[in-house]
A and B are shown apart, each in its own frame.
Chain A
Amino acid sequence: MSHQDIKFYQTGTFTVGNRLLDPEQRSVQSTLERTNALNSGHRACPGCGEALGARYAMDAAMAATDGQIVVANATGCLEVFSTPYPETAWQVPWVHSLFGNAAAVGAGLAAAMRVKGKSDVRVIAQGGDGSTADIGFGPLSGMFERNDDVLFICYDNQGYMNTGVQRSSATPPAARTATTPAVGPHPGHQRGMGKFVPEIAMAHHIPYVATATVADLRDIEAKVTAAMSLRGARYIHILVPCPLGWGSASHDTVRLARMARESGLFPVFEARDGEVTDSLKIRHQVPVEAFLKPQKRFAHLFGKQRDEEAIAYLQARADRNIRKYHLLEA
């Protein structure tokens, strides 16, 4: 994608900042003035990808709108760790209503802004994969279909983490969760294609759909900025590793997001009006194992007897993504 194509500067644009870049080429996160929309003192687990992704996205949205945003947040880790009375970590106007209604609350906020003549105030609704793919799916689809002026951001940590790591419809096959234990003939989460909301969002032909990971900061920022430049329903789906739910080291959060993308398991792309327009290419392809192995939720695949069949199944999924989204440079 174009924002990665900056002339070679040591780390190019892969790092958060780069003192060698022109100021206008720098990321929001690298600036001294970044808003820290999600402030220190929140209670997310150490190394929480969701906390990271939320700050990346919100700060970018703040930068893109000159601070004119209001946010509706679904129930879930992000909400719970950020706003336990008497402290909130949010520095943006923010409302939490329910687990399943963030998209609708967002739609209401957007209507309020329009009717109040405050159309410069932009609305973001956000939540975890559970609130997006499962319980809030109806309201989300409704918001898409009406093309409400709301950017919905899904922080996908592939499970219901807040309630103690149960499966969601975004949980990958074979992953162990509290409700898909690693026992029986097919241990872990069921096989099947799961529910990949970005593609469903595209089927609504909304103006903008994109996926991203916390390993690609500039990509997130570019996508949030692109989304904020448009009106109507927009959707960004960010992969945010969860050390607790994935059974991974807290310092591996960014690396795992990177492995998910570099293996092809998580395709990063952009779609406009229902058509894929661009994808982030894999730089150094890795086998799915590189993503799976550091996570305890996949430990049963690498026991005494490697579950070759399951690994191959997941590899096939990655390969399919690579083909489908053209993740390897031709």
Chain B
Amino acid sequence: MDKPMVKPFAITLDPGSSLANHTGSWRTVRPVYVHRLPPCNNGCPAGEDIQGWLFHAESGDYEKAWHVLTENNPFPAIVGRVCYHPCESACNRGQIDEPVSIHAVERFLGDEAIKRQWAFPRPAQRSGKRVLIVGAGPSGLSAAYHLARLGHEVEIHEAGPMAGGMLRFGIPKYRLPRDILDAEVARILDMGVRLHLNRKVDNALAAKQEGGFDAVFLAIGAHIAKRAYIPAGAAARVLDAVSVLHDMEAGERPLLGRRVVVYGGGNSAIDVARTARRLGADEAIIVYRRTRDAMPAHPSEVHEAEDEGVLFRWLSTITQADEGALTIEKMALDEAGKPQPTGEFETLEADSLVLALGQDVDLGLLDKIQGIEIEGGVVKVGENMMTGCAGIFAGGDMVPSERTVTVGIGHGKKAARHIHAWLNGELYQKPPTPPIATLDRINRWYYSDAPKTVQPELDAERRLDGFEEVVHGLNADNALFEARRCLSCGNCFECDNCYGVCPDNAIKKLGPGQGFEIDYDFCKGCGLCAAECPCGAIDMVPEDI
């Protein structure tokens, strides 16, 4: 219209004028955005921000995902293969259908990074401090990586001929191909970390002083095979798992014979048995004194071993080893569930017996160092990973721990942070951990039903032909699918639900990656945003009125 309207008084009103009415004053509770700790993150021994990197993987930005991942763990390709993924046991989705296959996506990212030669950022500033790391196993390498990122000069002294520790001399190739291991180690060395091979440290303090290091991180692992007392005939062939697997890596084929019995219930037992099958043994039998459920070995590995024809004798102990045969005593569980001898014996034919009963730490390099405390064969460390001797820190298998790769990596990271603070004369303050994002905070209705993607595996027949990798990775498509199964527990994933369900338009969308903001001028505190947030990233807190 050319003429302006002469609007009738009061009954005709200007559009949107209700903005003058600030309904926020009605509120008794207010919504606030929170970041809860996803159970996966909480379960990851390396402290990975799993939900955080999955967020980027979900959108197909794998490089960003990899960078976020490696802020905590430089070995996604390795741990994606060998970690027992406690994250997945904790994953909320496991209570809905199946956990997100975090390790599979992680492995995919690690492999992508190798394929595409993604590199770590170089530290912007050098601190001028020098740190010695003893042992190039996962724990030592992890510490080296984090210290390098923090700008310190790092030198690793490794007794063996190659880096990797048990990753190389324990875990067989068919589980961890060596090119993968080499690639992820090389990337750390590319950051300027110096690695001295075949350089055994005999005295940690001396090495520190001689090299003029400001701090030391010890991560020498546990390499001395434990023995059990088994009466053995002179001609009996008794070996230990660590040396068998070590020999494999050194290129020597251990002589195990056609019938191999492995004694023990851990992963090394399984690895030896599966290696034996690959070396041509017709029979590989694992003898274990407890039941299947009590086995420390990971169920997936037990499965894979069974697929490859490895046999198991549960509730059995070996009482005598002779040439070509072993005597076995059957056990029975008592009321407390403990195995007790039954006095029932039988004979088991065996060309060799491999003991896989665990390892002890070679503590020689700590002899006579003031303050160091040893307990139960391992080195005591404080909350800050420092031993009783100032400036000497330790982690991995040599300290009290679950002795897994990822725990070692976590120790490396944690130690690096404390060393960094210590070098600056400070105390590292861990940022406060938010409460866990529990399943009851998840609004399950919103998530699509989607069972996990199964990683393809090598045919059982082909496996025994050699040491080819058994479990294959995901491709880009199913990695994406798997990443998108993540519920994003306790952390906004920008689904716009709050923005949409607010009847008062009191939520402002800030744009991609920016999240949302609550307009308290209009929010009446109805709580719909919090109730309909799929992942539980909004809390309702009382207003103090």
Chain B binds chain A: yes
**Do the beta carbons of B512 and A86 come within 8 Å of each other?**
no
**Do the beta carbons of A85 and B532 come within 8 Å of each other?**
no
- Of the residues B10, B18, B446, B512, contact of A39 by C-beta under 8 Å: B18
**Given A14-B445, A46-B525, A250-B528, A52:B503 Cβ within 8 A:** yes
**Do the beta carbons of A251 and B527 come within 8 Å of each other?**
yes
Per-residue 0/1 for A70-108: is the Cβ within 8 Å of any B Cβ (1 yes, 0 no)? 000000000000110111111110000000000000000
Q: Which residue of B lies closest to A96 (CB)?
A: B11
**Does A285 have its Cβ within 8 Å of any Cβ on chain B?**
no
Contacts of B20 in A (CB 8 A): 41, 87
Bound form: Cα–Cα A85–B17 in Å: 10
**Given A88-B14, A88-B16, A250-B526, A41:B22 Cβ within 8 A:** yes
Bound form: Cα–Cα A11–B96 in Å: 14
Q: Which residue of B lies closest to A251 (CB)?
A: B527
**Do the beta carbons of A30 and B528 come within 8 Å of each other?**
no
**Does B509 have its Cβ within 8 Å of any Cβ on chain A?**
yes
- Of the residues A10, A49, A82, contact of B58 by C-beta under 8 Å: A10
Among the 9-residue stretches A119-127, A180-188, A252-260, A321-329, the one with 4 or more Cβ atoms under 8 Å from chain B is A252-260
**Do the beta carbons of B531 and A251 come within 8 Å of each other?**
yes
**Do the beta carbons of A20 and B531 come within 8 Å of each other?**
no
**Does A9 have its Cβ within 8 Å of any Cβ on chain B?**
yes
Contacts of A17 in B (CB 8 A): 494-497, 499-500
Within A255-301, the residues touching B (CB, 8 Å) are 255, 258, 283-284
**Does A36 have its Cβ within 8 Å of any Cβ on chain B?**
yes
Within B478-530, the residues touching A (CB, 8 Å) are 481, 484-488, 493-497, 499-501, 503-506, 509, 511-512, 519, 521-522, 524-528, 530
Bound form: Cα–Cα A88–B496 in Å: 26
Bound form: Cα–Cα A252–B531 in Å: 7
Within A1-40, the residues touching B (CB, 8 Å) are 8-12, 14-20, 27, 29-30, 32, 36, 38-40
**Do the beta carbons of B505 and A40 come within 8 Å of each other?**
yes
Number of interface residues of A (CB under 8 A): 53
**Do the beta carbons of A42 and B497 come within 8 Å of each other?**
no
**Do the beta carbons of B504 and A51 come within 8 Å of each other?**
yes
**Does A217 have its Cβ within 8 Å of any Cβ on chain B?**
yes
Bound form: Cα–Cα A29–B497 in Å: 9
Interface of B is mostly: loop
User: Distance (Å) between the CB of A44 and the closest chain B CB?
Assistant: 6
**Do the beta carbons of A52 and B509 come within 8 Å of each other?**
no
**Do the beta carbons of B15 and A90 come within 8 Å of each other?**
yes
Number of interface residues of B (CB under 8 A): 56
**Do the beta carbons of A41 and B14 come within 8 Å of each other?**
no
**Do the beta carbons of A9 and B448 come within 8 Å of each other?**
yes
**Do the beta carbons of A11 and B481 come within 8 Å of each other?**
no
User: Distance (Å) between the CB of A42 and the closest chain B CB?
Assistant: 5
Q: Which residue of B lies closest to A14 (CB)?
A: B446
**Do the beta carbons of A29 and B500 come within 8 Å of each other?**
yes
**Does A47 have its Cβ within 8 Å of any Cβ on chain B?**
yes
**Given A20-B484, A41-B22, A251-B526, A10:B496 Cβ within 8 A:** no
**Given A39-B505, A250-B528, A251-B526, A11:B534 Cβ within 8 A:** yes
User: Distance (Å) between the CB of B440 and the closest chain A CB?
Assistant: 14
Contacts of B15 in A (CB 8 A): 39, 88, 90-92
A-B contact pairs, 29 of them (CB 8 A): A10-B487, A10-B488, A10-B495, A11-B446, A11-B448, A15-B495, A15-B496, A17-B494, A18-B496, A19-B59, A19-B493, A29-B496, A40-B23, A40-B505, A44-B503, A48-B503, A49-B503, A52-B503, A82-B18, A86-B13, A86-B17, A87-B21, A88-B18, A91-B15, A243-B526, A252-B531, A253-B503, A255-B532, A258-B445
